[in-house]
Amino acid sequence: MRWKAVHRWLGLTLGTLAMVLGLSGALLALDPLQQAWQAPAAPAGLPVATLVQRVQAAMPGVEEIRRLPTGRIAAFGFAGEQAQARYVDAASGRLLGAYQPSSMPRWVKNLHRALLLGDAGRWGAAGVALAMALLSVSGGVLLLRRMGGWRQLTGRVRGTLAQRLHVLTGRVVLAVLCLSSVTALLMSASTLGLLPLDAGPEPDVASSATGAALPPEKIPLLQELRVADLRRLNLPDAADPMDTWSVITAQGQGWIDRYSGQTLAWQDAGTAQRINDWAQVLHTGESAWPWALVLGLSGLSVLLFWASGLLIWWQGRQAVVRIADNSAPQQADVLIYVASEGGSTWGFAQALHAALVRAGHRVHSAALERFQLPPAARQVFILAATYGEGQPPTHARRALQRIAAQTAGGVPVTVLGFGDRQYPGFCAFAQAAEQTLRGKGWPMLLPLECIHQQSSQQFARWGETLAQALGEPLVIDYRPRLPTTTALTLVSRRDYPGQSDRPTAILRFSWPRQPWHARLRGQGLARFAAGDLVGIVAPGSAVPRYYSLASGSADGFLEICVRQWPGGLCSTHLLGLRPGDGTQAFIRANPGFALPGQARSVLLIGAGTGVAPLAGFIRRNDGRTPMHLYFGARDPARDYYFAPEIQRWLAEQRLASVRTAFSRVPGGGYVQDALRRDGERLRALLAGGAIVRVCGSRPMAQAVAQVLDGILATLGLSVRELKAKGRYAEDLF
């Protein structure tokens, strides 16, 4: 099921009505709160017979006694010709203030129950309740997908302020809103006659009219019945000798002979009635004012849901890529099919499309689920992103079945995958697409290429290879659609000589806080955590360079570690900054590398500037989770980054241990050598559930994985298995 589409369109079409019902429901939730303070609750174990005696003594003309859902007692009768309705203190029988069934204006109830439209409105309200139930279910599915499953449900929420508000509110109240919607549907079903509540026709009963009427304490059923079970008790009419006692409880309804005290008839409450009773309690909170408070706050949250959801939808529409010069499929000689969850893959498709058009081709680009092969086609490209843990993007979930149903032609196909190497399912959907095509006999122009983290450099290299394979000039001008950048101001720097031509510096920037309304619109610098990425746009460049963050927004500053790359435009720009200078930046979340909320212990493995995000993890280790750092560099005098902080964190017990390896000193080595020497210690930590985070160059990470695979083998595990369980993640460059 396309949960995202269901959630979006239900929210857009019925969101306003849902907001009206949510706000009116929040107002109605005030009633149980008010009633809870109007009179003392009746003792649950009090016999009904005793209650009747006390009420009759205080109100001689009493005709009906009700136990309200709040546990309060209300009595109704006449004093002469004057009608009375009073609260009663059941413990003493004393009459209290006048009974007020609801202080809420009637129109609020009519608005909530029938949208002020009478019976037709009841059907409308039921429809909105059904939509709310579907919105809650689809929202729950999307929430679990976004957070990475149940285990990560309480993890840190990333994104714009609107996205965070939407997710955080959903995480707190989504289950309550779903329950409220389902109970509203049940109550609507009974109101509209779809769920009959009557147990059957009332029996034809009458008192025997022989002898004197018995007092309440002489009637067995009234003596046995406790106030906790009472709903309503009607006393016999003094002017009608044949009238009976009538009692309604949670279990059913009974009629009692006023003279003999015998129960003349009893009807058990039907299943439908019991379900409706529970639905009413859960929907209104009438019998428990704390629950009514929860319901009221949940109703108010619908306004926040609606506003933030609308803003997220609008921001998404603004980010949609529009393809120019898109030929009709029957006229195109090149077809580009795209599978993209967030829309970024369409930016690459747009650049490829434009380059092919400039080369003289007629190009048609479309979503992958529309895959077809018109007669004029000579080349097919599939640009496929992988979502979640190896899943296809939502819109393309049936695309492979469509591809498999097509007859393979002699037209070559090229598959380009997009994903993140930190996830075990890196480009899994693109791989599945290529395997499906190969299995059906489609020829391949190029082998599968997988683009890591939307790398524009990797995409440019792929474009050069494609031009060679096509045998024609092809200039792909891909310019990533960057988020709104924010000016950062350098406040301090710490320089390290490093190698002669590779100086390095730890740069600390101030974090410019933005007004809430700017952050709500996705403007300004988003909240960030250690391990997230900051994109720096150097002057004269349209391509950002990403650096792992050594701090979080809670630290009040933004810190990175930058090494000079030969000819590197961005590193030259950053290392040329002096305190007071500025640069343009934006935040890109890196949730796959983040630490989970609960971890028994953590192995942090990094080399060179890769220690930066690991330092950020240690810096925010306020809970003193055992963290063990393995750090590799060349020379402790030239590139031991964060050395003073590491010593301080050891003293503060934010860091449990540190092992270093320096390759350019006598007896030194590499970080993987330090791991190998600590094999027994690491085996114990990994057996105890330690999680692993690795940051640095790709060759270093491969060597580290090889050593850890050897250690894990004795435990019947592997690095691949730890990745699949979310215990092992890499941030590589």
Domain assignment of residue 627, yes or no: yes
Domain boundary among 553, 569, 591: 591
Residues 650 and 611 grouped into a single domain: yes
Q: Which of 277-291, 370-384, 647-661, 707-721 has the lowest mean pLDDT?
A: 277-291
Distance set, CA 7 to CA 12, 314, 336 (Å): 9, 15, 28
Strand partners, 415: 382
Closest C-alpha among 82, 13, 66, 73 to residue 38: 73
Domain assignment of residue 721, yes or no: yes
C-beta atoms surrounding 476 within 10 Å? 20
C-beta atoms surrounding 467 within 10 Å? 16
Say whether pLDDT at 124 is over 90: no
CATH of the domain at 581: 2.40.30.10
Domain boundary among 413, 436, 470: 470
What is the reported pTM?
Answer: 0.60
Structure tokens at 337: 């099919």
Q: Check residue 288 and report its DSSP letter.
A: -
Domain assignment of residue 481, yes or no: no
pLDDT confidence of residue 523: 54
Domain assignment of residue 210, yes or no: no
pLDDT confidence of residue 594: 86
Residues 235 and 378 grouped into a single domain: no
Domain boundary among 573, 591, 609: 591
pLDDT confidence of residue 383: 97
Say whether pLDDT at 464 is over 90: yes
pLDDT confidence of residue 516: 61
Q: Where in 330-448 does DSSP place strands (E)?
A: 334-339, 363-367, 379-385, 413-419
Q: Where in 675-717 does DSSP place strands (E)?
A: 691-696
Q: Which domain holds residue 524?
A: 486-591
Closest C-alpha among 238, 186, 231 to residue 207: 238
Residue 234: which H helix or E strand, with range?
A: strand 230-234
Q: Are 593 and 729 in contact (CB under 8 A)?
A: yes
Distance of CA 243 to the CA centre of its chain: 60
Closest C-alpha among 635, 628, 627 to residue 608: 635
Residue 552 C-beta-side C-alpha neighbours within 13 Å: 18
Domain assignment of residue 322, yes or no: no
Of residues 365 and 22, the one with the higher pLDDT is: 365
CATH of the domain at 405: 3.40.50.360
Percent of the chain with pLDDT over 70: 92
Q: Alpha-carbon distance 258 to 343, whole Å?
A: 76
pLDDT confidence of residue 655: 96
The single-letter code of the amino acid at 457 is: Q
Interval 519-573: pLDDT, tens: 555 555 667 899 999 999 888 777 788 899 999 988 999 999 999 988 788 999 9
Q: Which of 144-148, 577-581, 717-721 has the lowest mean pLDDT?
A: 144-148
Residues 576 and 535 grouped into a single domain: yes
Burial of 21 from C-beta contacts in 10 A (0-12 / 13-18 / 19+): buried
Residues 300 and 154 grouped into a single domain: yes
C-beta atoms surrounding 184 within 10 Å? 24
pLDDT confidence of residue 520: 56
Domain assignment of residue 479, yes or no: no
Residues 344 and 466 grouped into a single domain: yes
Interval 342-360: pLDDT, tens: 678 999 999 999 999 999 9
Tally of domains in the chain: 6
C-beta atoms surrounding 93 within 10 Å? 19
Q: Are 89 and 39 in contact (CB under 8 A)?
A: yes
Say whether pLDDT at 35 is over 90: no
Say whether pLDDT at 256 is over 70: yes
The single-letter code of the amino acid at 223 is: Q
pLDDT confidence of residue 670: 92
Closest C-alpha among 425, 242, 437, 448 to residue 341: 425
Strand 728-732 and strand 502-510: the pairing is: unpaired
Q: Alpha-carbon distance 293 to 291, whole Å?
A: 5
Highest mean pLDDT among 106-110, 402-406, 501-505, 687-691: 687-691
Q: Alpha-carbon distance 397 to 695, whole Å?
A: 33
Sign of dihedral through CA atoms 142, 148, 149, 150? Answer: negative
Say whether pLDDT at 319 is over 70: no
Q: Are 630 and 605 in contact (CB under 8 A)?
A: yes
Closest C-alpha among 275, 287, 296 to residue 176: 296
Residues 178 and 238 grouped into a single domain: no
The single-letter code of the amino acid at 429 is: F
CATH of the domain at 602: 3.40.50.80
Q: What average pLDDT is seen over the chain?
A: 86
pLDDT confidence of residue 2: 66
Residues 290 and 425 grouped into a single domain: no
pLDDT confidence of residue 22: 82
Residues 393 and 535 grouped into a single domain: no
pLDDT confidence of residue 451: 92
C-beta atoms surrounding 109 within 10 Å? 15
Q: Which of 172-176, 420-424, 666-670 has the lowest mean pLDDT?
A: 420-424
Residue 189 C-beta-side C-alpha neighbours within 13 Å: 18
Residues 162 and 13 grouped into a single domain: yes
Residues 8 and 121 grouped into a single domain: yes
Q: Check residue 550 and report its DSSP letter.
A: S
Q: Alpha-carbon distance 185 to 442, whole Å?
A: 52
Helix axes 271-284, 161-191, angle to 10 degrees: 150
Residues 619 and 703 grouped into a single domain: yes
Domain assignment of residue 208, yes or no: no
Strand partners, 62: 77
Q: Alpha-carbon distance 605 to 614, whole Å?
A: 8
Say whether pLDDT at 411 is over 70: yes
Residue for token digits 């290392």? 575
Residue 98: which H helix or E strand, with range?
A: strand 94-98
Domain assignment of residue 687, yes or no: yes
pLDDT confidence of residue 299: 84
Q: Are 138 and 257 in contact (CB under 8 A)?
A: no
Q: Check residue 406 and report its DSSP letter.
A: S
Residues 378 and 456 grouped into a single domain: yes
